[in-house]
Amino acid sequence: MTSERAQAYGRLMRTVREDGELALSPTESALVREAADALLFCENLAADEEARDGLTRVGDLAGDLVGSGRWGPERAEQLLRDIECCGPMAPVG
């Protein structure tokens, strides 16, 4: 695990705990937390179905949040960047 992955995880946990109009529902928070946990401890994304599934589910959630008007695109993009940064770097080449 790298410090960048740990920092991205921290940002996601702040998002999960947020109150107010931008708050996630308990179900949405659990989805993000589970995906972040799976990605944080993943060593090889290609071999980790749980981590890949979590990444997909958070992507779907981000689309739903924007589509419903609850979140703006910038906030959803930050969520996606943070969840992706929790996982291992993809090999180049």
The verdict on residue 93 lying in a domain is no
Q: What distance lies between CA 33 and its chain's CA centroid?
A: 8
Q: In a structure prediction context, what are the per-residue pLDDT tens digits for the chain, which is 93 residues long?
A: 788 899 999 999 999 999 888 899 999 999 999 999 999 999 999 999 999 999 999 999 999 999 999 999 999 999 999 999 999 975 444
pTM of the full structure: 0.89
* Domain count of the fold of the chain: 1
Residue 91 within a domain: no
| Other Cβ atoms within 10 Å of 60 Cβ, number | 11
Residue 28 structural domain: 3-86
Amino acid at the residue 4: E
